[in-house]
Amino acid sequence: MSKRLDQQVAIVTGAGSGIGRETALLFAAEGASVVAGDYNLEAAQETVDLIGQIEGAPKAAAFKVNVANAADAEGLTEFTIKTFGKLDILVNNAGVGVPGTVLTTSEEDWDRIMAVNVKGIFQCSRFAIPKMQEFGGGAIVNVSSIAAIVAVVDRAAYGASKGAVLALTKAMAADHIKDNIRVNCICPGTVDTPWVGRMVATYADPEEARRKMVARQPIGRLGKPEEMAEAILYLASPAANFATGSALVLDGGFTAFKLPS
């Protein structure tokens, strides 16, 4: 049976952990050559080593990148072309978040969240898109959040950044539809990644914090990073050739309805 990303070359940012790692693994299992980009090179290399254990997967490579930095982002695309000869797919997944309201968020945290979550997509895309144009097209998948759709208490900067990701996705889709480049995003609800593990660990009673988090989910559990990877794969693959400028919400019903209590 042919694989869903046969002969494709993909960059996944933030591929050293969570959603990015699962996406890189699934892409490789589906036939793509993957560049695992991450600020944490060791973690990206671990992802590449895991890909090496998948039978029949093409070669993968790790690259150290701070997505917010222009020279790093340019290097990421250059490395991909040099290593695999072309670029078909860019997954802008790297992201950071810090709790805070407008009153409690420091200017430094505001700038860092915007730099990684929003400017990072700008930087990686502005070097990747010319290569996709050169090769006749491509697909970009950005990772937004349900925080772009409903306010999450104590996440002012994070919500603002993910709202910008949603708007930027549509803007990029409009600007590059004539280049045969599709641009979509996913909006995950709470997904059980190391990020969430770090967050619950900051509470006095982490187990209770996790129980409350699960209790807030209409579907009765957190999302799995593998489920996000499947959605990213769909949007990146030819199966989604009619989708551009769209936002796929994967949140166990969180933004869709309220169950009677």
Ligand X SMILES: NC(=O)c1ccc[n+]([C@@H]2O[C@H](COP(=O)([O-])OP(=O)(O)OC[C@H]3O[C@@H](n4cnc5c(N)ncnc54)[C@H](O)[C@@H]3O)[C@@H](O)[C@H]2O)c1
Please say which residue, 180 or 200, places its beta carbon nearer to ligand X.
200
145 binds ligand X (CB under 6 A): yes
58 binds ligand X (CB under 6 A): no
Please say which residue, 49 or 134, places its beta carbon nearer to ligand X.
49
Q: Choose the binding region for ligand X from 26-34, 54-62, 124-132, 194-202 (rule: CB under 6 A).
A: 194-202
Which residues in 99-128 contact ligand X (CB under 6 A)? 116, 120
67 binds ligand X (CB under 6 A): yes
Of 5, 8, 20, 26, the residue at the interface with ligand X (CB under 6 A) is 20
Please say which residue, 20 or 138, places its beta carbon nearer to ligand X.
20
Site string for ligand X, 150-169 (x = CB under 6 A): --------------------
Q: Choose the binding region for ligand X from 11-19, 48-56, 103-111, 128-136 (rule: CB under 6 A).
A: 11-19
* Other Cβ atoms within 10 Å of 111 Cβ, number: 13
Q: What is the dihedral of CA 243, 247, 251, 253, to 10 degrees?
A: -80
158 has catalytic annotation: yes
As measured in angstroms, the least distance from the Cβ of 45 to ligand X is 12
216: its two tokens: 């807030």
Q: Point out which residues bind ligand X (CB under 6 A).
A: 13-14, 16-20, 38-40, 43, 65-68, 93-97, 116, 120, 143, 145, 188, 190-191, 193-196
